[in-house]
A and B are shown apart, each in its own frame.
Chain A
Amino acid sequence: MLRRILSVMSRDFKSGIRDFMVVYILIAPFLLAFILRALIPSVSSTTINIAVLETMDQDMISYLESYSYVETFSNRDQIIDRIGKTDDIYGLIRTDTGYEVINQGNEAGEGIELIKYIVNARGNETTQLPVIVKVSDIGWQLSPLKQYGANFLIVFGSVFGSMIILLSIVEEKMSNTLSAINVAPIAKFEFVIGKGLLGFIIPVIGTIGTLIILGFTQINFGMTILTVLCISLISVVIGFSIGVVSTEPIGAIAGMKMIFLPIMASVFGGIFLADKWQFLLYWSPFYWAFRSIDSIILQTANWNGILLNSFFIIILTSFVFFLLKNRIKHGLN
């Protein structure tokens, strides 16, 4: 059974990579992620920026200046405001026992470790005691473009897999190879699963690629993959249902456009609608996926919330599936 399912999948893949349209769809998410990354302002200097109080002793400031760029502020609140801006800067405040490093959580690389190291090295010059460095997080704040851009790419990317399914079904219909499949000892469900698999694998790979390209390496990938699998399900169902009634690829892709509208509506509605109007989007599985991905990116997600959203997605997808089931079954004969 597994052998037949995998045969169908690998045949589709083999056939797909010989089709420029499919290849384009495969690389599109990565391309879009790179474009998005280029649009996001980011400070990629190798120096570390540190915000300190004016009251810090001058020796320490000069010491820090030899390793980093230092800005001084008159009180703690100003430091926190400064850190809240989008570039990477850490706060360093003297405490009774040592130093406190304040960070925002979205800083790149090993900044904190480096600051701890710098401070410790200095501390060890005068005292033999290790200096205690306490790290406190003032909360993750992302540039909205990055936060929502990534989300949009992920939700939208779920369609790419089903486009490939769509094209492979159209290919089978055009060459009437479906009849040959129907007289081979492969069960319909094996064929459907084999064809459908790419619709899940491709969005998962695309999503992981997108997140890595955009630098979201700290998020919970388990939750992400679950959400992407759920949202792919609805794309796959729609992909099949359009595929079986299409007779040529361009028309099929055009038919797929009807799924773009609910996706756009769900994501942009999710971003811009006031909380009290959000219920207008509850019908859309893409909306629940948007919510899940948003919390995952903000690292506020928990399994209960993600599972609940996934449950909504599956329930809504089941409705769509039962509406389209006969059409799909019929079309595959």
Chain B
Amino acid sequence: MITVKNLYHSYTKDDRYAVKNVTFEIEKGEVFGFLGPSGAGKSTTQGILTGLLQLQQGEVNVVGYDMRKPSREMFNKIGVSFEQSNVYNKLSALENLEFYKKLFDVPTLDPMFLLKIAGLDHVANKKTSEFSKGMKHRLTFVRSMLNNPEAWFLDEPTTGLDPAIASQIKDIIKEKNQAGTTVFLSTHNMYVADELCHRVAFIIDGEIKLVDSPRNLKLQYGEKLVGVEYKLGDELKKESFSLIDEMDRLKLNDIINNGNIELMHTKEATLEEIFIKVTGRGLQYNETSI
């Protein structure tokens, strides 16, 4: 459905690459996640895959179209939701969808139905300039579903939404995927990646460090992780240690020998912990974005 081979991209057209030697393949019906901190190159990759950024170097094929020469018809088959919502402020929510709907050559979903899904049916005729950030984001999100896309590109679909709405959005994504839609999802939220993705790619500084399913990753790293709560002076400290990492093992040894342990258990690693192990850096997602 989507193949990317040795993709490079530089905004400055020199050797300062925002995306470096990225290669991956997404099967039909798969939810493929790009997990990485801010500035990792997630949006850049999505930009190239959706034709918003010109393909500079590498091979990209999306739903059967070579992105060196993207064709207009391709956009009948894909849907794109943006990191930052982008809707016409002087039009109502309904007018926004109705305008966009007319641009397709393929059957489209009913705008009113989509507004209902997004929980915006009660403000369908309100100008979007009066919408909150989250409302605009949801409108941008459902707009990307209008043409029932074969491949669906979602850039931070739940960022900035309150937990209840974020969970609705996640349900919609799961449902669509079960109906056969292939999803490319960028996020810096490990829970979203864990919950939705069949496979995740860890991306940092424009490079993919690893691609695997969350389950495999946890099997590989999780069983060898030990959570320890111990006292250091008057302070209670919580830490996780990997049993395969040499440094971690030495540290853990040290704590055990000093004997201030309050609680100790093996635990399943979160994707973030695995991310830190693999890349040496955190995802640094902020608390407000779930």
List A residues at the B interface (Cβ < 8 Å): 3-4, 7, 11, 14-15, 18-19, 171, 175-177, 179-187, 333
Asked whether B91 lies within 8 Å of A180 as measured between CB atoms, the reply is no
**Residue on B nearest A19 in the bound complex, by CB:** B90
Can you offer 24 A-B residue contacts whose CB atoms are under 8 A? A4-B102, A7-B103, A14-B95, A15-B91, A19-B90, A171-B88, A171-B90, A175-B87, A175-B89, A179-B52, A179-B86, A180-B82, A180-B86, A180-B87, A183-B50, A183-B52, A183-B78, A183-B80, A184-B103, A185-B74, A185-B75, A186-B72, A186-B75, A186-B103
Is the CB of B84 closer than 8 A to any CB of chain A? Answer: yes
Asked whether B86 lies within 8 Å of A175 as measured between CB atoms, the reply is yes
Asked whether A15 lies within 8 Å of B90 as measured between CB atoms, the reply is yes
**Residue on A nearest B50 in the bound complex, by CB:** A183
CB distance from A259 to the nearest CB of B (A): 25
Determine which of A15, A19, A176, A185 lies in contact with B76 in the assembled complex, contact meaning CB atoms within 8 Å.
A185
CB distance from A26 to the nearest CB of B (A): 15
Chain A residues with CB below 8 A from B76, complex form: 185
Other CB < 8 Å A-B pairs besides A176-B86, A184-B103, 16 of them? A7-B103, A11-B88, A14-B95, A15-B90, A15-B91, A18-B90, A19-B90, A171-B90, A175-B86, A176-B84, A181-B103, A182-B51, A183-B75, A183-B80, A184-B75, A333-B52
**Residue on B nearest A183 in the bound complex, by CB:** B80
| Total interface residues in chain B, CB < 8 Å | 28
Chain A residues with CB below 8 A from B84, complex form: 176
Q: Which of B51, B75, B90, B99 has the most CB of A within 10 A?
A: B90
Contact with A along B97-111 (1 / 0, CB 8 A): 001101111000000
Chain A residues with CB below 8 A from B140, complex form: 180
CB distance from B53 to the nearest CB of A (A): 9
Determine which of B89, B102, B143 lies in contact with A3 in the assembled complex, contact meaning CB atoms within 8 Å.
B102
CB distance from B160 to the nearest CB of A (A): 16
For the complex of A and B, the 5 pairs showing the least CB-CB separation, nearest first, are A185-B75, A176-B86, A7-B102, A183-B80, A184-B103
Chain B residues with CB below 8 A from A15, complex form: 88, 90-91
Chain B residues with CB below 8 A from A175, complex form: 86-89
Q: Which of A15, A175, A176 has the most CB of B within 10 A?
A: A175
CA A206 to CA B88, docked complex, whole Å = 27
Q: Which of A4, A7, A177, A187 has the most CB of B within 10 A?
A: A177
Determine which of A7, A14, A182 lies in contact with B91 in the assembled complex, contact meaning CB atoms within 8 Å.
A14
Is the CB of B73 closer than 8 A to any CB of chain A? Answer: yes
**Residue on A nearest B143 in the bound complex, by CB:** A180
CA A7 to CA B51, docked complex, whole Å = 22
CA A176 to CA B76, docked complex, whole Å = 20
CA A185 to CA B72, docked complex, whole Å = 5
CA A61 to CA B72, docked complex, whole Å = 79
Determine which of A11, A176, A182, A185 lies in contact with B99 in the assembled complex, contact meaning CB atoms within 8 Å.
A11
Asked whether A180 lies within 8 Å of B100 as measured between CB atoms, the reply is yes
Asked whether A185 lies within 8 Å of B104 as measured between CB atoms, the reply is yes
Determine which of B52, B91, B105, B127 lies in contact with A185 in the assembled complex, contact meaning CB atoms within 8 Å.
B105
Contact with A along B51-92 (1 / 0, CB 8 A): 110000000000000000000111110101010101111110
CA A200 to CA B31, docked complex, whole Å = 47
**Residue on A nearest B100 in the bound complex, by CB:** A184
CB distance from B70 to the nearest CB of A (A): 10
CA A179 to CA B80, docked complex, whole Å = 10
**Residue on B nearest A181 in the bound complex, by CB:** B103
Asked whether B87 lies within 8 Å of A177 as measured between CB atoms, the reply is yes
Contact with A along B179-192 (1 / 0, CB 8 A): 00000000000000
Known: A14-B95, A18-B90. A179 touches B82 (CB 8 A): yes
Chain A residues with CB below 8 A from B105, complex form: 185
CA A176 to CA B88, docked complex, whole Å = 9
Q: Which residues of chain B from 210 to 245 have any CB-CB distance to chain A below 8 Å in the complex? A: none
**Residue on B nearest A184 in the bound complex, by CB:** B103
Asked whether B103 lies within 8 Å of A4 as measured between CB atoms, the reply is yes
Determine which of B78, B91, B143 lies in contact with A11 in the assembled complex, contact meaning CB atoms within 8 Å.
B91
Chain B residues with CB below 8 A from A7, complex form: 99, 102-103
CB distance from B92 to the nearest CB of A (A): 10
